[in-house]
Structure 1
Amino acid sequence: MATIPLPPPDHETGLTEPPTPSGEPAALFQREPAHAAHRFEQAAPGGPEPWRKRLAWLRNLALFVLLPTLAVAIFEYGIVANQYESETHFVIRTAGQSGSANSGLGQLLGLDPNPTTADSQTVVDYLLSHDAVASLERTVGLRAMFRRSEADPFSRLDADAPPETLLRYYREMVHVDVGHEAGITRVGVRGFRPADAQRLAEALLVIGEQRVNEFNKRLLTSRLAAAREALQAAETGVNDSQAALSSLRQSARDIDPERTGAARITMVTQLQSELAQARARLAGMAAAVRPDSPQYVAQTAQVRGLEQQVAAAQASLTGSAQATATGLGRFEGIRFRQELAAKRYESATTALDTAREQALRQQLYLVRIVEPNLPAKALYPKRLKLVATIFFALLLIYAIGWLILAGVREHAA
């Protein structure tokens, strides 16, 4: 019977270690306790590894989320200046616009659009243009308003800012919106002082009204230009015909050639009647008396005299260039042209009145609905909203990055 020698006892514990089998099983036997101890170390609760991971996670959270958020909060609450907003509302209307122009049924069917929306948009374009900036600089000192001592260095306008920079800065401080349904235009103006915001909003209304008045003046001028030209042409025609009539009267030395011609025709008719009567008496005397008798000679002389008078009268009517018929023809032609010019003048006058009435009916008016207010509280910047947005955005980015990194580590393990 073989005996297995025992190892000497341990001096510290007093126990004797069991013999170690030789060969491959012995190696496995030696590795198994180490592996089991490693599993026991990982599963042991309360170890330092979870706390280190948690502290690292909190450190990264503070570095990538809390510190940037705190920096933004310090910047917004400690450096950025307050901005006050004054608001005003107005609407563009025409003198001839009826209340049904904005009816809901018309808008639903698309048959009755708001005719002043385009006009409102035109005014809005002007209020945001460089012309408006130049006008405001002359009236209220726009650059000085944007360079107040209350403004922070990041929001203050540069002293030597070019006009393009001033226009871009102005469009950031002034917001204009047009409501397409009711046509009401909202104007919001920001300033570093409440009084500046209110004053600038009032100045915008003033220059808007001035621009509308300029539109009306141009509309009236363009609408009346053609009518006035026609009226001037008609007046020229009337004056020319009147001058021609006066010249004819002076040359003929006759105030009323028509009446004079009628009188001459009447005279010729009477002379012809007297001539016929004289000839009848002469024919009756020829059968009763001798041709050399005094009565017959006198009657013959009377007939010859009447014949000469009739011939002269007829010659004055139609026989020469100075005849009554020629003068009467020129007079009637001038009178016809005068009457035609008078009718044209009357028609041109009516057309001018109609054009003026239509232009006045289409004139625009800027109607104030809400006057510019004096703000009592700064509405900008939206500090809490901005800080909260930055915090949640960074937190979301950090969470997504942490999940991606954890997945990569797990995949690598």
Structure 2
Amino acid sequence: MSESPSLTPSPLLSAPGAVAGPDDSLDAGVAWHYGDPLREQRTAENGAAVVDRSNRFVLSIGGPERLTWLHTISSQHVAQLPDGGSAENLSLDLHGRIEEHFVLTDLDGVTWIDTEPSHGPGLLAFLQKMVFWAKAEPAAAPDMAVLSLLGPDVRRPKLLAALGIASLPPVYGAVALPGGGFLRSMPWPGEHAFDLIVPRDQLARWWGELTAAGAAPAGSWAFEALRVAAVRPRIGVDTDERTIPHEARWIGGIAEHGAVHLDKGCYRGQETVARVHNLGKPPRHLVLLHLDGSADTRPEPGDPVTADGRPVGHLGTVVDHHELGPIALALIKRTVPVDTALLAGSVAASIDADSVPSYDGVQAGRAAVDRLRGR
């Protein structure tokens, strides 16, 4: 069997200055940077940048019942997703632990899904197994690939002309592109973020036209730095086999830019989601860590996070940011105070206070219990 296109090196690695991702990284098959990763981050925040993310696994779902069927087996409310609508979604196990995270767009009678390259085959197998009698047809779409456009200058007339569209859609909206594929607006990794899902054989053409129109090449390093600064997790790196949605900050419907709708019908793992939301608090939460930039080395994803020698969590993505310096995402115990001195591996670390979720709200289930007890 030949390799999936999402796992083979991108043809865009031949672009001038492209440096492939490290062999052991999830993004080994696409450009890590083009010679100046910090400048590329600044451009992605303040100008216009295009990122090769063609290692993403893309699949399609046809059939008239595709959305109502997907609605019943996943965490997001997608049964009435309009044409040109998108959402983030999760597949959970029976205990509410996250198995898959994916982005979906419904356009012209087809639901398109893209996810991490290493998770794509497993997600496709799960969807195909769950079809039963539904009129839904999930299938791999290796002939489609993902590019991302980042930055406020994406809205400039020259880039819109290169895209062949009159205006950009709102967040989670999508519009068809000339020649096939579509453009989708996303709420992350920055304020101005757009994905292009295009025919793989047109990758080079799109890359050439977008860069000629003013979008600077940027590597996966830039995308990851902005994602980490936005405290957006990546499944399998910032999550583990025990992670539940509340810990990973994926709670919320489409309007809240989440992946778990709290007012929808039954789905696998819903009991855990409802219990934590109504009665409890997550045992851990995802936070942003600032790392000691004077250290000779960087910690690695998976390294323990400790406080006074005792483990309190573990690291996810570690990256150098153009303004914040070395930063990381970490799943740590919720009870760890924000001002606790930490070690990430052997490197001093501190929690970014603004990244800590608030737990001040009164939960509906807990309030009901208190009323019954006369509190």
TM-score by length of 2: 0.23
TM-score by length of 1: 0.22
Larger radius of gyration: 1
More helix by share: 1
More strand by share: 2
Q: Which has the higher contact order (CA 8 A, sep 6+)?
A: 1
